[in-house]
Amino acid sequence: MIDPITRYLHHNAGKHGPIMLMYHAIASGKDTPAWPWAVSMRQFCDQLNFLATEGYATPTMNELIAAPAKKWQGRTAVITFDDGYVDNLAACEELQKRGMRATWFIVSGSIGQSPPWPEDGRPAGRLLNADELREMLANGMEVGSHTVSHTRMTELDDMNLMRELAHSKATLEDLLGSPVDSFAYPYGDWDTRCAEAVQQAGYSAACTTRTGWALRDNTPYQLRRLTVFNTDTTSSFARKLYFGSHDVRWRDIARYALRRFRNA
């Protein structure tokens, strides 16, 4: 259930083009996870149900880019997952139940292993393994790259930057037997040099963590995404879909309304 004001606002959602959503971990049960980038299974299912009820198309990222922009004039939400935690398998099952698809960005150097990047509250245990990724792909999901080592790309020299991009793509394609065309910048860390390197490495598109409508910048290598946080209710989730922003607390909306009134 969402509140009446949010319902009224969301009535006009979808008019600015597709939205991309970024998830990381899905915790079992209904309790709010401690890690900001995780959501409970109950939250996740409520969000999927809302998308389904409100008529959102859920293409993969590659499908979004491959089709003409006019195809996505209706409500469209591209669902993405970064890193590839093993708890994402349950999320994949829920997507399949609803006929939805999503894109997973995988750290190729840690497939089936515990991730080596800092433990800031992220899930313990391993990442998805090759067999699981192949099964997800067979069930209509997309697998993209998130570099070899989940590194901050702007800190790399040109040679190591291309290595992270090209080796990850090649490894995933060998494991999956399928092209890997999509990429996500780890930590949302990128600049023009990184975007150019992604294109040179043979990817068709890359997504950032900048907020806004996915296609706002008119380049497939700077796609925008909205993060889904542990504190998001179905109402705040719906407001994100409408505003294309993380700033959807009531005080943010009051400021937005005041600006609109003053500029009227």
Residue 70 — pLDDT band, cuts 50, 70, 90?
A: confident
Supply the CATH number for residue 237's domain: 3.20.20.370
pLDDT score of 259: 83
The string of pLDDT tens digits covering residues 18-61 is 999 999 999 998 999 999 999 999 999 999 999 999 999 999 99
Q: What is the distance between the alpha carbons of residues 54 and 63, in angstroms, rounded to a whole number?
A: 21
Q: Domains in the chain: how many in total?
A: 1
In a domain, 5, yes or no: no
The string of pLDDT tens digits covering residues 158-168 is 999 999 999 99
Model confidence at 264: pLDDT above 80: no
pTM comes to 0.96
Q: Which domain holds residue 23?
A: 15-263
In a domain, 3, yes or no: no
pLDDT score of 252: 87
Show Cβ contacts of residue 58 under 8 Å, excluding neighbours closer than 6 positions. 51, 76, 77, 78, 79, 95, 100, 101, 102
pLDDT score of 119: 85
Residue 8 — pLDDT band, cuts 50, 70, 90?
A: very high
Secondary structure letter of residue 127 according to DSSP: B
In a domain, 10, yes or no: no
In a domain, 191, yes or no: yes
Q: What is the distance between the alpha carbons of residues 194 and 181, in angstroms, rounded to a whole number?
A: 16
In a domain, 4, yes or no: no
Show Cβ contacts of residue 73 under 8 Å, excluding neighbours closer than 6 positions. 17
pLDDT score of 136: 98
In a domain, 9, yes or no: no
